[in-house]
Copies of this chain bind each other. A is one copy, B any other.
Amino acid sequence: MAVIPGDGVGPEVVAAQLEVLKATGLSFEFSEYPAGDNHLEKTGQAMPDETIKGAQAAQAVLFGAVGVSAAKVILRLRAELGTYVNLRPSQAFKGVPCIHPQTDIMVVRENTECLYAGIETRLTDDVTTATRIITKTASLRIARHAFEYAKTNGRKKVTAVHKVNVLKITDGMFLDCCRKVAPEFPEIEYEEALVDSVAMRIVQRPEEFDVIVTTNLFGDILSDLAAGVIGGLGLCPSANLGDEHALFEPVHGSAPDIAGQGVVNPSAAIMCGAMMLEHLGEKQAAQKVQNALETCLTQGKTTRDLGGSLSTMEMAQEVIKAM
């Protein structure tokens, strides 16, 4: 395993995560690699080649958080690892104040193209452009992944989120691909919805969504929105998956305001650990970690952001006790 703690609260949540992973009894080897603002300041490089190579050589990568250099670090990693899927669950937990306790949404975000392709121009002094790329290859691949995910995980519905009334050709392509894949999964309901209306519905009736499949930027926005509905980014892990590599990162950032105090909520990182275990085929261990975490959340054994009084490491210890 490659571990990239990064900046701010990154090292603290990763330390908690590793404690929990070690307590599963499974034997992993962890190698730590630098990246982020700190490293940039020290060496002039936010993302050293050594870290890329370490990540590429690893079976899985655990990522903490980065600050200002986030885009350089995480977008580069996603690209170098060929992780074309970004899985972003937002699930409400008992004991955590949230807007809709029935929320349980998995956003399956395309992770390689859209406005993230990095193609921008300054055409004239007045005019700048960015190119949104949507390909059949990537759209079919992400649609298939979403339906496979739904099938494997007992989900009932996939909603393809788009803005085809404005983006007729690009989101037309995206929807064509979803429509092509949907009939291969007759047991899964298939729905299409406009991104603006989905934003409203996630706020008002998130229980209408199950698995959402969408393009890169809409996935970015909607997953943060869903996180808001379930009580915040502190509870949202994510998995970047490709054919050869897997990278797990909390959706939250480096939170410089509370970094170094040992108070950051480790839940997202611990759930990242569970997602990694699941990915490695260690279903039982994954379930044990996830259940233990949920027990702690239900019993109020949490950090102060959720009303508890534990430190980051104390919460990790409680999770371990509950396993």
* Interface assignment of A204: CB less than 8 Å from any CB of chain B: yes
Q: How large is the interface on A (under 10, 10 to 19, 20 to 34, 35 or more residues)?
A: 35 or more
B129, B172, B225: the one within 8 Å of A170 (CB): B129
Copies of this protein, total? 2
Identify which of residues 168-225 in chain A touch chain B, using a CB-to-CB cut-off of 8 Å: 168-170, 172-173, 195-197, 199-204, 217, 220-225
Q: Is the CB of A126 within 8 A of B122?
A: no
| Chain B residue nearest to A120 in the complex (CB) | B169
Determine the chain B residues whose CB is within 8 A of the CB of A118 once the complex forms. Answer: 166
Known A-B contacts A132-B129, A228-B202; the reply to A167 vs B120 at CB < 8 A is yes
* Interface assignment of A75: CB less than 8 Å from any CB of chain B: yes
Known A-B contacts A199-B224, A225-B200; the reply to A128 vs B133 at CB < 8 A is yes
Question: By DSSP majority rule, is chain A's interface helix, strand, loop, or mixed?
Answer: helix
B126, B196, B232: the one within 8 Å of A224 (CB): B196
Q: Is the CB of A165 within 8 A of B71?
A: yes
Determine the chain B residues whose CB is within 8 A of the CB of A220 once the complex forms. Answer: 163, 195-196
* Interface assignment of A149: CB less than 8 Å from any CB of chain B: no
Q: Is the CB of A224 within 8 A of B204?
A: no
Q: Is the CB of B130 within 8 A of A132?
A: yes
* Interface assignment of A134: CB less than 8 Å from any CB of chain B: yes
Q: Is the CB of A204 within 8 A of B221?
A: no
B136, B200, B217, B232: the one within 8 Å of A228 (CB): B200
Known A-B contacts A203-B225, A224-B199, A225-B225; the reply to A166 vs B133 at CB < 8 A is no
The CA of A233 and the CA of B163, in the complex, are separated in Å by 18
Q: Is the CB of A203 within 8 A of B221?
A: no
Determine the chain B residues whose CB is within 8 A of the CB of A202 once the complex forms. Answer: 228
Q: Is the CB of A135 within 8 A of B131?
A: no
The CA of A173 and the CA of B228, in the complex, are separated in Å by 29
* Interface assignment of A125: CB less than 8 Å from any CB of chain B: yes
The CA of A118 and the CA of B195, in the complex, are separated in Å by 17
Known: A115-B163, A128-B173, A196-B221. 15 other contacts (CB 8 A): A120-B168, A120-B170, A122-B173, A128-B170, A129-B134, A129-B169, A163-B217, A196-B220, A196-B224, A199-B225, A200-B228, A200-B232, A203-B203, A203-B225, A204-B228
Chain A residues close to B by CB (< 8 Å): 70-71, 75, 99, 115-116, 118, 120-122, 125-137, 163, 165-170, 172-173, 195-197, 199-204, 217, 220-225, 227-229, 232-233
Between A and B, 19 residue pairs with Cβ closer than 8 Å are A70-B165, A71-B166, A115-B132, A120-B167, A120-B169, A126-B135, A127-B134, A128-B133, A128-B134, A128-B135, A128-B172, A129-B134, A130-B131, A163-B220, A195-B221, A196-B223, A199-B222, A200-B224, A201-B228
